[in-house]
Amino acid sequence: MKNLLVVDDDYKMRSLLHETLSDRGYNVDVSKNGKAALKALKSEKYDLVISDLQMPKLNGIELLEIVKKQYPDVGFIILTGFGTIPLAVESLQKGAADFVTKPFSIPQIESKIKRFFDFEGLKKENKNLRHKLLQREKFEKIVGTSKAIKDVLNKIIVVADKEVPVFIQGESGTGKELVSLAIHANSPRANEPFLKINCTAIPETLFDSILFGYEKGAFTGANGRHKGIFEDADRGTLLLDEITEISIAMQAKLLRVLQEGKIIRVGSTKEIPVDVRIIATSNMNIYQLIKERRFRSDLFYRLNVFPITIPPLRSRIRDINVLVEYFLKEFKEKYAYKEKRINNAIRRNLMQYEWPGNVRELKNLIERAILNSGEEVDLTYKHFSFDSYQSPSDIYCDPDGSLSTITEMEKELIYAALRKTYNHRARAAKILGITARTLRNKLRQYKANDPN
C-alpha cells in the first residue's frame, strides 16, 4: 500500500482528498501546513506528497525544496489555482512530478497519482534491469577452466534458484563475494536488492540498530524512524561477509531472526516479518571456531544448508594463464593500451608461485605490472612487484634478471622448497610434485657435483 501525505490549509480540501484517496486503497495522512508536513515526514515514510501551492508560513514550493533535499525519493505533486500556473511550472523545474490546477475532478487527481506511480515503477524496473546486468557481468568474472572452479560454478547453478541459505568458505581473495553475486543474479530474487554487510565492521553496540533498525527516540540522536539492513534487503539477498567475526552475543540475536523470520526495531515491541535470503562467508576454519566455542554450532547449521568451498589459486594452477589473459585484457582496456604481452618464462614462474593473496593478488600484480611498464609492450621481471615476501623471479632468475639453465632452475627450486619447509624433505617433495625418493636422489647428485 502506498503512503500519501496531503498538505493543505483548507480543511475541506484535506478532508475530501483524505476520504477519496483512502477509498481508492491508499494510506493517507494529512497536514494543515508545510511545517506540520515536515514533522510528519520525520516520523513516517511517504511515497508521495500532494501539497497546495499557496499556504501560510511555508508555501508549496518552499516545502518542495526541503523535501527534495532531505527525502529525494519522495514524489511531489503541487495543487495550484489557475492564476499561479507559472509558479506550478517552476515547481516542475525544482523536482515536482506534476501539478494539478484547481478546481479539479477526482478522476483527474487519481490519474495524476497513478501516472506518478506507474512512472516510478518503470524507473524501478529499469534500475533492477541494470542491476541484474551488472550481477551477470560479475558472474562472468568467475574465470577458470579447472575442475575445481567448474565444481564451484556447478554448485552455483544447483543452488541459485533454491530458497536456502548458503555458506561460502575460502581464503581471502578467492572470490567469495563474486560467488554470492552469481547466486543472487541467477535466483528468482535477481530483481530485488542484493545487500552486503561486513561483519568485521559492525561495533557490537550498534549491531541491533544497523541490522534491525530503530524507532524515533530509541536512543540519543534517534531523530526519526530508520530501517535496518534486514528491512532494506526484504525480498532480496543479504550477504553476511566474514560472519565468523561477530561475537557470541550478536550470533544469538542473528540466530533468532533467522529462525523466526522477524525483526524488532530498537525502541519498539512490534515484530516485522522479513523475507531475506542469507548468504554467509568466512575465511576461517569454522569447525575449529565451533570447537573453541567462538562460534555457535546452531547458527552454523542454520547457515550451512548448502556449503560451497572456493579453492585457493595454488590448487588450480591451470587457471592462472586464463586469469592472466583475462586481467591483461581488462587493464589494457582500462588504461587504453593497444597491446601488452607476458612471455612464457614469466608465465611459468607465475604458475609456480603460491599466491597467498589468491586471485586478488594476481589481479593486483598484473595491474601494477601494466602501470609500471608504461609504453613498453612486453612485461618483464622488472615490472612485477609481488605482495608477499618471495617472488618467482627470486627463485628462477639470476640477479641480473637473465634466465638460468633448466638444471640450475631445478636446483634452485628444490633448495627454495627446502628453505620454505625448514628442510623438511617430505613436505618439500609434496610442494615440488615429486617423490621423496626423487628429491633424495637429486640432493645426492648436487652434493656429488659440488667441488667444495
Q: What is the pLDDT of residue 401?
A: 43
Angle formed at CA 134 by CA 129 and CA 135, multiple of 5 degrees: 95
Of 292, 309, 326, the residue that ends a domain is 309
pLDDT at residue number 264: 92
Q: What is the CATH number of the domain that holds 341?
A: 1.10.8.60
pTM across the whole model: 0.58
CA distance 285 to 103: 70
Boundary of a domain, candidates 309, 328, 349: 309
Crossing angle of helices 425-432/436-449, nearest 10°? 100
User: Helix (H, G, I), strand (E, B), or coil: what is residue 227?
Assistant: strand
Domain boundary among 260, 276, 309: 309
All cell numbers assigned to 357: 593473496
Q: Does residue 395 sit within a domain?
A: yes
What pLDDT shows up at residue 15? Answer: 92
12: containing domain: 3-120
Mean pLDDT by 10 residues, the chain (452 residues): 91 92 92 93 91 89 91 90 73 85 88 87 65 53 87 92 94 92 90 91 86 86 84 94 92 93 91 94 93 95 95 91 92 90 85 86 90 88 65 45 55 78 80 81 77 53
Are residues 418 and 428 in contact, defined by beta-carbon separation less than 8 angstroms?
yes
Phi, psi of 46 (to 5 degrees): -120, 150
The total number of structural domains that make up the chain: 3
pLDDT of residue 387: 55
